[in-house]
Amino acid sequence: MRVIHFYKYQGTGNDFILIDNRLNTFPKEDTKLVAQLCERRFGVGGDGLILLEDDPEHDFSMIYYNSDGNPSSMCGNGGRCIVAFSQKLGVIQKEETTFSAPDGLHKALFKNNLIHLQMQDVSHIEKVKKGLFLNTGSPHYVEVVKNLDSMDVKKKGAEIRYGVPFNIEGVNVNFVEPIDENHFKVRTYERGVEDETYSCGTGATATAIAMHKGGKTKAEYIILETKGGNLEVTFEVKKEFLGLKIKEYTNVWLIGEANFVFEGTITV
């Protein structure tokens, strides 16, 4: 039997189990244990599990698992939550931080009770099916739809996630409905969770960039309305990348709340 001390955080309804693993006591290869902890009826429950570990060159390291137990790519809301968690633990005692994550280094800032997380630059965006495909730390497909509130996101999202050309690696699927010039409603089906989540940070980032790339907005400050609340994305646009006349999205920031919910122990 093993006793695990955990913390629960959520960012716009995207919820995570966070564990202080600076002593390397968590069995990181035990994917069944991770899935068991994330299970909502028999475990703690969460869209994912995040380990905070020491990093020799930066403030800390973020290790992320989807709720199916498998290690995964970057999670934007999880990134904001681990920044709040690191402050709670006293790992950082300042208003900014730099940490390593599955997709590389990230900076984060505390401003006005919100956590600003710098995301990776994006230059490669391609037209696929009825939408756009891009990677914002995790791969995302973004499609504009009508009547978003009545859509069966789990069914439609799974069809795209497991369909050609995404059926090998899988993809996160975002359905978007414009509300205003810089305001969009988005619902996301997440691979690894295999269901709709209340919010997705890399999905909100991908949606904001895709709406600009697709000509739905000229704004570089975008509000994304999710089931769990609003997120904000800002970026700058460069008209050349590596000498070619293509758009590159740089200085990309994901902004929103990250809230502590509770802490406890579980025997497994």
Question: Would you name the residues annotated as active-site residues?
Answer: 75, 200
DSSP conformational letter for 120: P
Instruction: Please check whether residue 111 is in contact with residue 117, taking contact to mean a CB–CB distance below 8 angstroms.
Output: no
Under 8 Å CB-to-CB from 18, ≥6 apart: which residues?
A: 6, 7, 8, 9, 49, 50, 51, 52, 81, 82, 85
* 191 is known to lie in a ligand binding site: yes
* 182 is known to lie in a ligand binding site: no
* 230 is known to lie in a ligand binding site: no
Instruction: Please check whether residue 262 is in contact with residue 13, taking contact to mean a CB–CB distance below 8 angstroms.
Output: no
* 161 is known to lie in a ligand binding site: no
Is the N-terminal amide bond of 139 cis, ω within 30° of 0? Answer: no
Instruction: Please check whether residue 247 is in contact with residue 233, taking contact to mean a CB–CB distance below 8 angstroms.
Output: no
* 190 is known to lie in a ligand binding site: yes
Instruction: Give kind and range of the element (H or E) at residue 210.
Output: helix 201-213
Instruction: Please check whether residue 11 is in contact with residue 246, taking contact to mean a CB–CB distance below 8 angstroms.
Output: no
* 77 is known to lie in a ligand binding site: yes
* β-pairing verdict for 96-101 and 60-66: parallel
- Distance in angstroms (rounded) separating the CA atoms of residues 207 and 233: 9
Instruction: For helices 76-89 and 201-213, give the axis angle rounded to 10 degrees.
Output: 140
- For residue 139, how far is the Cα from the chain centroid? 11
* 225 is known to lie in a ligand binding site: no
Going by the annotation, the residues of the binding site for substrate are 14, 66, 76-77, 172, 190-191, 201-202
